[in-house]
Amino acid sequence: MKSFILSIDQGTTSSRAVIFDKNAKIVAMAQQEFKQVYPRPGWVEHSPQDIMGSVMAVVAEAIVRAELTADDIAAIGITNQRETTLVWDRKTGKPVCNAIVWQCRRTAALCEELKASHAETIYEKTGLIPDAYFSATKIKWILDNVPNARARAEKGELLFGTVDTYLMWQLSKGRIFATDYTNAARTMLFNIHTLEWDKDLLKLFDIPASMLPGVKPSGHYFGDTDKSVFGAPVKICGAVGDQQAALFGQLCTEAGDVKNTYGTGCFLLMNTGYKPVKSKNGLITTLGACVDGKPPYVLEGSVFVGGAVVQWLRDGLQLISSADESEKCALSVEDSGGVYVVPAFTGLGAPYWDSSARGILTGITRGTSRGHIVRAALESIAYQVSDIVQSMQKDAGIKINRLAVDGGASRNNFLLQFQADILDSEVFRPEVVETTALGAAYLAGLCAGVWKEIKGRGGKLFSPDLDEGKRAQLLDGWHKAVQRALIK
């Protein structure tokens, strides 16, 4: 009986395969890291062979661990690092160069020029603020710098894809050439209003339309894997960018649903329903996942230094010996004693946007202890998340329903309780924190008919428990501290 779903999570540093049974329980998992290639300062690449090799290895391992064969898999859902760019030969499948990773800054200067001349047009069409992260300037770079690439592209010999597209193309031996709305929306070439590749932008970036994949909803029957790949053909029924996968995995399918991933940085996404929202606070407008039909719009913002502030406490200041110890240490004091940490180590993003801002520690007295500083550092994560949620609420004119959370630092109960207090909203941490893989599995399973609907899952709910006056006072202190960190 085909009732298992295979989720392939192709991330920035590792590839993972997770197999779910029909109760959406994990039955097996495998993970493999692969090499990061740094050819020059600020440049980041992945070998396409490493991406493919690691995916094949983890899928094989997970299937063996689950004691299944490809015949038992009802559908595959793919989720992937977003924006990372591949260009390959339509006939041979051979990439013309390494994948250019989203983090790569090689096109930063071009993006600065674009910001000055075309920021508004690009924002109007794509919802994005021009940046080297997005695929468009990476494709242009490849066409302009790899010998013969432009001539070959103009003859229709080359194809472009984000990682989802490349995987589907490889797994189907060239029969599937497609992507989904969530990945297309991060290329800076896709019009999020017409849901089509934008002719003006293709002209601006000098990219032939023949290189581009067809764009489908995230939950969609894309086609089958080639029989030779896993021993039997398997349906591919989902492709979705990693953050949108997490949003779907957190069941944030209604307007006002928000998720935050507390990793090294924090990634916040808010479902805003079917009307695009324009941000006044420098948030990105993008597309969310759906099973066939029209995708919802999503507001996205990120915190540069999230869990990384805890690493700094551990490795830089050596105030704690493990990340987990931060919780106990924070709870050893009643409050932060008026201390604020603003971890603007690399500047501040939304809603302040000051790249020259630097970190500060304020409010220190003779009574300040290690506990106060550790507590203030954890609180800084929650304050930054709160600033973004407030911006989203203002931009969308919607009050959030609750904040669904995942990521490494969401283990910290103190942090989540403080988050609920400062947001005055419930914070929900599901039991299964593999929300990215789960989101891709949900999309594939719904599309393949393994599930008719997805039910809410168990988890821990943190309810706000702070009086209004105290909350206002704490937030006021935070905003004053931020003002001191700003330079511009």
210 DSSP assignment: G
Work out how close the CB of 138 gets to ligand ADP at its nearest, in angstroms, rounded to a whole number. 22
Is beta strand 258-262 parallel, antiparallel or unpaired with respect to 403-406? parallel
**Residue 221: other Cβ atoms inside 10 A:** 15
Tokens encoding 84: 């990372």
Q: Which residues are at the interface with ligand ADP (CB under 6 A)?
A: 263-264, 307-308, 310-311, 323-324, 326-327, 407-409, 411-412
Q: Which residue is nearest to ligand ADP (CB)?
A: 408
Name the residue nearer to ligand ADP (CB basis): 30 or 398: 30
Name the residue nearer to ligand ADP (CB basis): 77 or 306: 306
Name the residue nearer to ligand ADP (CB basis): 142 or 388: 388
First-residue to last-residue Cα distance in the chain:
62
Work out how close the CB of 33 gets to ligand ADP at its nearest, in angstroms, rounded to a whole number. 12
Work out how close the CB of 384 gets to ligand ADP at its nearest, in angstroms, rounded to a whole number. 14
Nearest C-alpha neighbor of 105 from the set 45, 181, 23:
45
Cβ partners under 8 Å of residue 15, min gap 6: 8, 9, 31, 32, 34, 51, 54, 55, 57, 58
Name the residue nearer to ligand ADP (CB basis): 121 or 264: 264
Nearest C-alpha neighbor of 384 from the set 359, 402, 356, 413:
359
Work out how close the CB of 380 gets to ligand ADP at its nearest, in angstroms, rounded to a whole number. 12
* Residues 132, 137: Cα–Cα separation, whole Å: 7
Question: Exposed, middle or buried, 121 (CB in 10 Å: 0-12/13-18/19+)?
Answer: middle
Name the residue nearer to ligand ADP (CB basis): 322 or 365: 322
H helices of 14-131, where? Answer: 48-65, 108-126
Phi/psi of residue 388, each to 5°? -70, -40
Name the residue nearer to ligand ADP (CB basis): 19 or 246: 246
Computed from CA positions of residues 59, 65, 70, 76, in that sequence, does the dihedral angle turn out positive or negative?
negative
What is the four-CA torsion angle of 469, 471, 474, 476, rounded to 10 degrees? -70
Name the residue nearer to ligand ADP (CB basis): 304 or 451: 304
- Which residue type is seen at 201? L
Cα-based distances in Å from 450 to 35, 74, 241, 244, 443: 36, 7, 22, 21, 10
Work out how close the CB of 32 gets to ligand ADP at its nearest, in angstroms, rounded to a whole number. 16
Question: Exposed, middle or buried, 319 (CB in 10 Å: 0-12/13-18/19+)?
Answer: middle
Work out how close the CB of 445 gets to ligand ADP at its nearest, in angstroms, rounded to a whole number. 24
Rounded to 10 deg, the angle between the 413-423 and 370-396 helix axes is 50
Work out how close the CB of 319 gets to ligand ADP at its nearest, in angstroms, rounded to a whole number. 13
* Residues 260, 258: Cα–Cα separation, whole Å: 7
Per the DSSP assignment, residues forming a β-bridge with 247 are none
- Which residue type is seen at 175? R
Name the residue nearer to ligand ADP (CB basis): 391 or 412: 412
Name the residue nearer to ligand ADP (CB basis): 136 or 309: 309
Name the residue nearer to ligand ADP (CB basis): 217 or 307: 307
Name the residue nearer to ligand ADP (CB basis): 115 or 411: 411
315 DSSP assignment: I
Name the residue nearer to ligand ADP (CB basis): 226 or 325: 325
Work out how close the CB of 346 gets to ligand ADP at its nearest, in angstroms, rounded to a whole number. 14
Name the residue nearer to ligand ADP (CB basis): 388 or 454: 388
Rounded to 10 deg, the angle between the 135-145 and 108-126 helix axes is 130
CB 247 within 8 A of CB 271: yes
